[in-house]
Structure 1
Amino acid sequence: MLPPSAKLYLASALYNWCLDRGLTPYVSAKVQGARVPRGYDQDGVIVLNLGPEATNRFAFEPDGISFQARFGGKVFDVWLPAENIIAIYARETGHGIALPDEMFTAPEPDGEPTPPEGPEEKPAKGFLRVVK
């Protein structure tokens, strides 16, 4: 299984990609377990502008994203746990990446590689086969 922070590495990469290209990074996240203002979500999901103009004290932390933003003219401390992130994308183009939980919950391998299925040919070292 990928470490829980893998979502944040991917989100951080897309965030920086947006900023490098002059685009506005947006995140879609589940509100349950997050610290977000009430009433700004739709069906338990909130979409937030992560651009430097919209946030203060923005940080990718080891287990989530934190920043301050204004909602209805009031400053609010936002906390998005890594597992709540659904997608991060550029507002202007829609280009980005979806980060569904299923990508990060694969079972741990048992430590023993599984030999490939197919012809009875002896697999090469590491269970790779030469295909002709």
Structure 2
Amino acid sequence: MTSSRPYLIRALYEWISDNDCTPYLLVNSEFDEVVVPTEYIEDGKIVLNISMGAVSGLELGDEVISFSARFSGKSNDIFVPIGSVLALYARENGQGMMFAEEEDGTEPPDDDSPTDTPPTRPSLRVVK
């Protein structure tokens, strides 16, 4: 199946906006192909305000989030691969969701994912 991350990001963005809150995006700026203003990066991460009033041309795609925003009065084109998104939350109350970090652009495996060895099943034994 495809990654659920872009679907969750779009749903959270809509939910946060519908509740008159400001959606903030926490991004791993060290992820490949991230384009953000480097002077605002702290500890390899950047927080971006992606509210409709703060950005223009916002696209929440399946592979990338892109938009234009002003930083200190200067317009910047922002490019954020979906795998670099660490969280989407409301500025006002912190409600939202954190995401696991990705290394190679793929979703981390679930703990319940099948393995190569079949699970052991309980069995009964005759006791004398």
**Fold-level match, TM-score > 0.5?**
yes
Other-structure match for 1:10: 8
Cα-to-partner distance string for 1:47-83 (whole Å, 9 max, x where unaligned): 0001001000001122010000001101100010011
Partners in 1 of 2:94 and 2:57 — Cα distance?
25
5+ long unaligned stretches in structure 2 = none
Who is 1:46 aligned against?
46
User: Which amino acid in the other structure matches residue 121 of structure 2?
Assistant: E
Q: What RMSD in Å do the two structures reach over aligned CA positions?
A: 2.4
Instruction: Give 3-state SS (helix, strand or coil) of 2:39's partner.
Output: coil
- What is the TM-score of this pair, normalised by structure 1? 0.78
Change (3 A) 1:113 1:53: farther
CA offsets 1:67-114 (integer angstroms, 9 cap, x no match): 00001101100010011000000000100100113692217746x894
Matches within 5 A, 1:1-132: 3=2, 5-32=3-30, 33=32, 34-101=34-101, 104-106=107-109, 109=114, 114=118, 117-119=121-123
Quick check: 14-23 or 95-104, which moved more? 95-104
Q: In the aligned structure 2, how far is the partner of 1:46 from the partner of 1:30?
A: 7
Conservation of the 8 A alpha-carbon contact between 2:100 and 2:108? no
Aligned-residue sequence identity (percent) comes to: 35
Secondary structure of 1:104's aligned partner: coil
Number of residue pairs the alignment of both structures matches: 117
Deviant stretches of 4+, over 6 Å: none
- How does the TM-score come out when normalised to structure 2? 0.80
The code of the aligned residue for 1:22 comes to D
